[in-house]
């Protein structure tokens, strides 16, 4: 047996045991969340419902502030206090602090000495807390996760967890260390905590539509926010260094965002991986920056269309698009020998027609509730592995669209190409720079080397 087929079989064996466990557990609310750490025996209680859990927020933007709010709202399980905050920029930290303090009063106790700013801020904030929220743009996630685990802290980290293969490998390595230290790790792929998704996926895995042959996943929508250099320089009354500009307008730079196939479409790609209980073996695709073109739109594509192939020969057809005025859909679908499913609408049609009619909590709250429950009951809980592998799946798709080549998983995840800056200072040399016309180069399929 060659190495590839042995890897494939190993992946399948892991899938089967994972699925068996899912069917036998009644804690459906956890979805796929505890699956990657089944071998860890519960031990070493960290906190019961009387103990106060100290929280640190790294990356005080929209989602970080939301996750901190939701972590503080787990107070019914036991006391939680936000004690430290870190951000690259003081203005972002201040805005988040005042909103959280207004809403949560005494539960936000972050004196000036525990507010940290700059590239090293994360280390100091991590040191002061028990549970760490990592919600910077994703490029920094592997560095921050590795440090949180090194310092022995529980983590909630947003998706994606990396923007390139070296970053994914760093997260996978730290995930193992976290498991050995019995740390609890949540990843912000919140569909895993959504009752309708959990029930639909369970039914599909139980054979509701027979053999699943094809899957479709979409994030076709409008363009997200953009921060124009000109406006930023007006706002701050000075020239921005290239590092600062790329960090403020982060959505459009690959090293920090991963392109929207990774930053956004990961949610839909991850649902299909969850359904398959596996990850694709290869991908081919096409894409480009066609409509959303301009100095402030950096180097990412405005559309990607990828065909992912799994080891059993089944395919996921994936599209993501940021073009205004086109067909929009954020959805996941499966097609089988006995029917079809609209997964995001929790609907199955065919031999076993069914529709989920239950109610679930807001999944953003549910995922934090589940993490804090695991911490307080010392239950094995580690979502980092599937978070990293679904991040890698979206990076694999990007490698396929940027290169125009068919790219294999094994080569992609072993890639030595780091797209991150070599140093983190405000005047650091950046790998992607604008030309004389202010435009950033975008990848050219057929010519760009990305693996
Ligand atoms: N799960 C979801 O549905 C969901 C929704 C929104 C965002 N997200 C994810 O959350 C993350 C953050 O997104 P956002 O919308 O909050 O972005 P944002 O720009 O609002 O916030 C990011 C914050 O991180 C800070 N930051 C950047 N680099 C830093 C560094 N090195 N150290 C410390 N702070 C740093 C920024 O200054 C900013 O305040 C992204 O990974 C995004 O994909 C997930």
Bridging pattern class, strands 80-87 and 115-117 = parallel
CB 173 within 8 A of CB 333: no
The predicted-structure confidence for 119-141, as pLDDT tens digits, reads as follows 999 999 999 999 999 999 999 99
H helices of 134-258, where? 141-150, 165-180, 195-205, 229-236, 242-248, 254-257
- Whole-angstrom distance, CA of residue 116 vs CA of residue 122: 7
Task: Report pLDDT for 8.
Answer: 33
> Residue 82 has what pLDDT?
98
**pLDDT number for residue 451:** 85
For 300, the 3-state DSSP assignment is coil
pLDDT at 449: 80
Cα of first residue to Cα of last residue in the chain, in angstroms, is 26
- Give me ligand 1 centre to Cα 64, in Å: 6
Atom of ligand 1 nearest to the CA of 188: 1
Q: Distance between CA 279 and CA 177 in Å, rounded?
A: 22
Q: 76-127, pLDDT tens digit by residue? A: 999 999 999 999 999 999 999 999 999 999 999 999 999 999 999 999 999 9
Q: How many other C-beta atoms are found inside a 10 Å radius of the C-beta of residue 350?
A: 16
Residues near ligand 1 (Cβ within 6 A): 58-64, 86-89, 92, 119, 121-122, 135-138, 140, 158-159, 188, 190, 247, 263
From ligand 1's centre to the CA of 10, what distance in Å?
35
- Average pLDDT value for residue range 288-299: 97
Residue 218 pLDDT greater than 60, yes or no: yes
Q: Which domains does the chain have, with CATH numbers?
A: 26-192+364-382 (3.40.50.720), 195-361+391-413 (3.30.360.10)
Q: Does 2 have pLDDT greater than 50?
A: no
Inform me whether the pLDDT recorded for 347 exceeds 70: yes
CB 191 within 8 A of CB 363: yes
The confidence score (pLDDT) of residue 46 equals 60
pLDDT at 118: 98
Tell me the per-residue pLDDT of 366-389, one tens digit each, with 9 for 90 and over.
999 999 999 999 999 999 999 999
Question: How far apart, in whole angstroms, are the C-alpha atoms of residue 181 and residue 44?
Answer: 9
Tell me the pLDDT band of 4, cut-offs 50, 70 and 90: very low
CA separation, residue 222 to residues 30, 292, 305, 320 (Å): 32, 10, 16, 10
Residues 433 and 411: their CA atoms lie apart, in Å, by: 28
pLDDT tens string 44-58: 336 666 799 999 999
């Amino acid at each position: 047996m060659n190495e590839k087929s042995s890897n494939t079989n190993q992946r399948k064996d892991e899938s089967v045991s994972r699925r068996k466990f899912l069917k036998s557990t009644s804690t459906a609310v956890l979805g796929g969340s505890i699956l990657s750490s089944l071998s860890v025996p519960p031990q070493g209680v960290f906190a019961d419902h009387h103990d106060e859990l100290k929280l640190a927020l790294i990356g005080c933007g929209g989602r970080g502030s939301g996750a901190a709010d939701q972590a503080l709202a787990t107070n019914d399980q036991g006391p939680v206090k936000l004690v430290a905050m870190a951000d690259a920029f003081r203005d972002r930290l201040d805005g988040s602090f005042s909103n959280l303090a207004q809403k949560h009063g005494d539960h936000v106790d972050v004196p000036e000495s525990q507010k940290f700013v700059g590239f090293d801020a994360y280390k100091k904030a991590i040191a002061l807390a028990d549970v760490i929220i990592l919600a910077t743009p994703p490029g920094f996630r592997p560095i921050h996760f590795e440090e949180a685990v090194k310092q022995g802290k529980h983590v909630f980290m947003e998706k994606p967890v990396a923007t390139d293969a070296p970053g994914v490998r760093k997260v996978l390595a730290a995930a193992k260390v976290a498991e050995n230290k019995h740390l609890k790790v949540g990843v912000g792929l919140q569909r895993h905590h959504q009752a309708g998704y959990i029930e639909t996926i369970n039914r599909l895995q139980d054979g509701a539509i027979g053999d699943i042959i094809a899957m479709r996943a979409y994030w076709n929508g409008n363009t997200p926010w953009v921060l124009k250099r000109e406006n930023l320089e007006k706002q701050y009354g000075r020239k921005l260094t290239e590092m600062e500009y790329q960090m403020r307008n982060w959505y459009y730079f690959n090293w920090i965002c991963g392109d929207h196939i990774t930053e956004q479409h990961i949610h839909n790609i991850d649902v299909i991986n969850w359904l398959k209980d596996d990850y694709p073996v290869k991908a081919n695709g096409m894409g480009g920056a066609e409509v959303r073109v301009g100095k402030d739109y950096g180097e990412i594509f405005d559309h990607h269309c990828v065909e992912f192939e799994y080891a059993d020969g089944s395919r996921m057809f994936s599209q993501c698009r940021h073009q205004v005025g086109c067909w929009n859909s954020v959805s996941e679908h499966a097609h089988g020998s006995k029917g079809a499913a609209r997964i995001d609408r929790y609907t199955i049609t065919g031999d076993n027609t069914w529709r989920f009619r239950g109610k679930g909590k807001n999944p953003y709250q549910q995922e934090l509730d589940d993490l804090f429950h695991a911490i307080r009951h010392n239950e094995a809980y580690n979502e980092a592995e599937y978070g990293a592998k679904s991040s890698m799946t979206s990076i694999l798709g990007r490698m396929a669209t940027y290169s125009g080549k068919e790219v294999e998983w094994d080569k992609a995840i072993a890639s030595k190409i780091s797209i991150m800056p070599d140093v983190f200072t405000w005047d650091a040399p950046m790998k992607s720079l604008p030309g004389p016309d202010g435009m950033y180069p975008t990848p050219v399929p057929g010519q760009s080397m990305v693996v």
